[in-house]
């Protein structure tokens, strides 16, 4: 069995299990006749108990998808394999960077091995982060979760495991002793009272406060500028400039203030934030110019930027590592974010960015760092199926799979679609079967997608499969009902009616109401196909004026052979040589059918010149008359 046959067998098997077994379908979507039969699928959809209540849609009693119970006929379960697959071609797999990988790396650990080049590039600057083993507990498949459960922001439960340190943090020796006292820092000691007594020159109280603080903090040392007068300089203007991002102007303001008062020093808060802002600006500029090494070196010089509050900086640094093929270092940054930061949106964006920048083995390992949501499923479960989505999309576009998805992965993907009511994924599988010309299974998946939500692409897929299954009347009912849902559905309606109008044996009874709806839709969509179909209809009934109007609209909206030939036929029948000649000049090179039309030229026969006749005299001349005339001339 070829790789393609194996894949389709797996997908068909997973589809059959879920379509036939009502226990695997959302409870709110079940009814007495909810089996979706892939081989005998009708366009009708039994009314779903939860659809109108929970999908935000108002059900229409005239909706063709809402048929009475029992409208769907039962049939045997889908079984067997379709051998329509072919083996992937040798050139179908995308080019992937060749990287050294540790095959024994556990999920969540760094799977990349640092190469000699990468190690020398980061030597002395980037200590390798220690691998962290993260255990992902097995999550039971919640196949019966009701669709009526409101969707809310997931509450994430942190996974057990060691904390991942800042990848740029300096390596420090462990403290000797478990309960070793940490030395006090200047920032941790409150010396406001001490400075007050010093400012009032109350030496007695200064001494008492010094002794108290030394008792509390034996390693603490008093500041050397204790008796220096405190400047009353207002920093607020500098903070206002800082807020604009003009860090150079802040530096200039500090210099001006110190020129007036040399003893004044800016606050530590202002200086630390200024340094961070300058470093952030340098990183942004280096990113814009693709100077990856400058991005990395700037971040390494300012480790305090690698925090959850500076997410964009961390993403930039990770991308810089990935662009320089230092995938191990890039993975360390991504893992640090997922192990330290709690914002669900930022965590999701981190994994999405990683999927585009590091090889798949690293992306897969990062997925294991996802936390568990309240419903017992992994945080990044949806992203975990991006691979099979890309494979199916690649097959739809190119006809070949880059690699063979595992049977278990396909089964989990189908279960994920049903459990999460994923309209987009159900449509994707539907288009996969449609590309295989497996109309019945494609129809089944599009129909299942409409159970989740009335989506325009699902409706379009249903209409297309019904047309391929020679159920034109059902397709027309759907298209007519959902006409205003999207331009694609309107286009399907136009194609169905236009195809019937131009067929040898029309089957659609185009009454006055349907005719007006069709013409209004064609005009609204500016459909060249629909306009020329209407033109041919009126031409067949010998209404040349109306036919000419529709053919002209068709050519104006989009010049097509049908519209141009329609105008040519009218011009030829009316012997309008200038109009036909203009059509041949403008469109003759594009539409060869115009070669069959000859420009009518009427024959012109020149009239014979009429000889001038001499006016006859009243009486014939005699010989004496001529003699008299000669004498008078002399």
Number of domains forming the structure of the chain: 2
- Of 229, 244, 276, the residue that ends a domain is 276
How do residues 521-571 score in pLDDT, each as one tens digit? 999 999 999 999 999 999 888 899 999 999 999 999 999 888 999 999 988
For residue range 73-98, what is the model confidence (pLDDT) as tens digits? Answer: 323 222 222 223 233 333 343 344 56
**DSSP letter string over 512-575?**
HHHHHHHHHHHHHHT-HHHHHHHHHHHHHTT-HHHHHHHHHHHHHH---HHHHHHHHHHHHHTT
Specify if 118 maps to a domain: no
Task: Dig out the tokens for 78 from the structure.
Answer: 């889908």
From the list 479, 480, 454, the residue with the least C-alpha distance to 464 is 479
C-beta of residue 106 within 8 angstroms of C-beta of residue 133: yes
Tell me 608's DSSP state: P
pLDDT at position 237 over 70: yes
* Burial class, 364, CB count within 10 angstroms (exposed 0-12 / middle 13-18 / buried 19+): middle
| 344-357 and 327-340 helices, crossing angle to 10° | 170
Query: Which helix (H) or strand (E) segment is 525 a member of?
Result: helix 512-525
Domain-ending residue, one of 242, 276, 310 = 276
Predicted TM-score (pTM) of the model is 0.58
Assigned domain for 576 exists: yes
Is pLDDT at 254 greater than 50 in this prediction?
yes
Residue 220 lies in a domain: yes
Give me the chain's average pLDDT, please: 74
Structural domain includes residue 585:
yes
**CA nearest to 164, candidates 390, 389, 410, 341:** 341
**Cβ neighbour number for residue 48 with a 10 Å cutoff:** 23
Residue 231 DSSP symbol: P
Q: How many CB atoms lie within 10 A of CB 236?
A: 7
Task: Give the Cβ contact number of residue 523 at 10 Å.
Answer: 15
**Rounded-to-5 percentages of helix, strand, coil across the chain:** 55, 0, 45
- What whole-number percentage of the chain has pLDDT above 90? 26
pLDDT at residue 608 in the model: 61
Confidence grade of residue 456 (pLDDT, cut at 50, 70, 90): very high
Flag whether pLDDT at 198 surpasses 90.
no
What does the pLDDT average to over 341-367? 88
- Model pLDDT for residues 477-508, shown as the tens digit of each residue: 999 999 999 999 999 999 999 998 888 888 88
Which is more confidently placed, 624 or 114? 114
Q: How far is CA 152 from CA 155, 373, 415, 525, 600, in A?
A: 9, 11, 21, 39, 74
CA distances from 561 to 191, 495, 592 (A): 90, 16, 9
Q: Across residues 310-330, what is the average pLDDT?
A: 93
Q: What confidence score (pLDDT) does residue 251 get?
A: 94
- Report the candidate in 159, 142, 28 with the shortest Cα–Cα distance to residue 375: 142
Q: What are phi and psi of 378, to 5 degrees?
A: -60, 150
**b/e burial code for range 383-393 (CB count within 10 A of at least 16 → b):** bbbbbbbebbe
CA atoms within 13 A on the CB side of 291: 12
The whole-angstrom separation of Cα 508 and Cα 494 is 13
256, pLDDT greater than 80: yes
- 595-609 pLDDT tens trace: 888 766 666 555 666
Round to whole Å and give the CA distance between 143 and 415.
7
Secondary structure of residue 518 in the 3-state scheme: helix
Q: By residue range, what is the domain housing residue 534?
A: 483-495+508-634
**Helical packing angle, 327-340 and 311-323, nearest 10°:** 160
Q: Does residue 193 lie within any of the structural domains?
A: yes
pLDDT band at 617 (very low <50, low <70, confident <90, very high): low
Q: 621 in a domain, yes or no?
A: yes
Task: Give the residue from 416, 420, 379 showing the smallest Cα distance to 156.
Answer: 379
Phi/psi for 46 (5° steps) reads -60, 150
- Report residue 333's pLDDT band, with 50, 70 and 90 as the boundaries: very high
Task: Please report whether residue 51 resides in a domain.
Answer: no
Give the N- to C-terminal CA distance of the chain in Å, as an integer: 128
Rounded Cα–Cα distance for residues 250 and 239 (Å): 8
Collapsed DSSP state (helix, strand, coil) of residue 116: helix
46, 72 contact by CB (below 8 A): yes
CA-to-CA separations, 568 to 325, 597, 607, 630, in angstroms, rounded: 63, 7, 33, 73
Task: State how far the alpha carbon of 551 is from the alpha carbons of 250, 322, 481, 493, 561, in Å.
Answer: 70, 58, 27, 20, 11
Whether residue 487 is contained in a domain is answered as yes
What is the distance between the alpha carbons of residues 216 and 196, in angstroms, rounded to a whole number?
A: 19
Return the SS3 of 403: coil
- The residue from 261, 276, 291 where one domain ends is 276
98: left (phi over 0), alpha (psi -120 to 50) or beta: beta
Distance of CA 524 to the CA centre of its chain: 28
Q: How far apart are CA 388 and CA 395, in angstroms?
A: 10
| CB neighbour list of residue 215: distance below 8 Å, 6 or more residues apart | none
């Amino acid at each position: 069995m070829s790789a393609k046959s194996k894949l389709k067998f797996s997908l068909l098997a997973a589809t059959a299990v879920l379509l036939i077994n009502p226990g695997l379908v959302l409870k709110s979507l079940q009814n007495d006749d909810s089996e979706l039969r892939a081989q005998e699928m009708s366009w009708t959809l039994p009314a779903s108990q939860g659809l109108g209540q929970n999908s935000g849609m108002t059900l229409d009693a005239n909706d063709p998808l809402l048929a009475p119970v029992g409208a769907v006929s039962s049939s045997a379960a889908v079984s067997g394999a379709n051998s329509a697959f072919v083996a992937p071609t040798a050139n179908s797999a995308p080019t992937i960077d060749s990287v050294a990988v540790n095959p024994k790396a556990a999920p969540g650990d760094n799977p990349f091995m640092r190469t000699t080049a990468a190690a020398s590039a980061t030597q002395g600057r980037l200590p390798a982060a220690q691998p962290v083993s993260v255990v992902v507990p097995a999550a039971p498949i919640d196949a019966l979760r009701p669709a009526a459960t409101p969707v809310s922001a997931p509450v994430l439960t942190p996974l057990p495991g060691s904390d991942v340190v800042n990848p740029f943090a300096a390596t420090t020796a462990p403290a000797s002793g478990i309960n070793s006292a940490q030395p006090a820092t200047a920032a941790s000691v409150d010396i406001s009272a001490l400075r007050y007594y010093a400012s009032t020159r109350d030496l007695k109280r200064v001494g008492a406060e010094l002794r108290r603080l030394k008792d509390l903090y034996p390693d603490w040392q008093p500041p050397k500028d204790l008796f220096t007068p405190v400047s009353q300089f207002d920093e607020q203007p500098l903070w206002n400039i800082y807020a604009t991002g003009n860090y150079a102007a802040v530096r200039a303001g500090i210099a001006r203030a110190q020129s007036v008062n040399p003893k004044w020093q800016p606050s530590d808060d202002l200086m630390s934030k200024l340094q961070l802002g300058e470093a952030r600006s340098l990183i942004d500029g280096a990113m814009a110019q693709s100077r990856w090494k400058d991005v990395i070196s700037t971040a390494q010089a300012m480790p305090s930027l690698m925090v959850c509050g500076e997410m964009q900086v961390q993403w930039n640094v990770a991308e810089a590592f990935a662009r320089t093929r230092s995938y191990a270092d890039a993975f360390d940054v991504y893992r640090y974010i997922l192990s330290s930061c709690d914002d669900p949106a930022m965590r999701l964006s981190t994994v999405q960015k990683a999927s585009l920048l590091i090889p798949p083995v690293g992306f897969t390992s990062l997925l294991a760092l996802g936390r568990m949501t309240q419903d017992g499923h992994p945080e990044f479960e949806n992203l975990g199926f991006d691979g099979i989505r890309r494979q199916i999309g690649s097959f739809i576009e190119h006809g070949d799979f880059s690699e063979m998805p595992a049977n278990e992965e396909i089964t989990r993907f189908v279960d994920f679609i049903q459990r999460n009511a994923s309209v987009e994924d159900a449509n994707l599988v539907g288009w996969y079967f449609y590309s295989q010309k497996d109309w019945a299974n494609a129809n089944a998946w599009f129909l299942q997608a409409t159970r989740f939500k009335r989506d325009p692409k699902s409706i379009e897929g249903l209409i297309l499969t019904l047309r391929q299954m020679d159920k034109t009347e059902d397709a027309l009912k759907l298209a007519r009902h959902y006409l205003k849902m999207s331009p694609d559905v309107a286009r399907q309606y136009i194609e169905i009616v236009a195809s019937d109008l131009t067929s040898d044996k029309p089957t659609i009874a185009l009454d006055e109401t349907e005719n007006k709806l069709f013409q209004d839709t064609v005009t609204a969509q500016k459909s060249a196909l629909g306009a020329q179909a209407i033109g041919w209809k009126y031409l067949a009934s010998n209404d040349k004026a109306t036919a000419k109007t529709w053919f002209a609209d068709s050519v104006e909206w989009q010049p097509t052979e049908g519209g141009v030939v329609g105008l040519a036929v009218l011009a030829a029948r009316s012997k309008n040589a200038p109009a036909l000649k203009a059509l041949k000049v403008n469109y003759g090179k594009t539409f060869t059918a115009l070669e069959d039309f000859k420009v009518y030229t009427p024959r012109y026969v020149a009239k014979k010149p009429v000889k001038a006749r001499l006016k006859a005299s009243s009486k014939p001349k005699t010989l004496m008359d001529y003699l008299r005339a000669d004498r008078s001339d002399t």
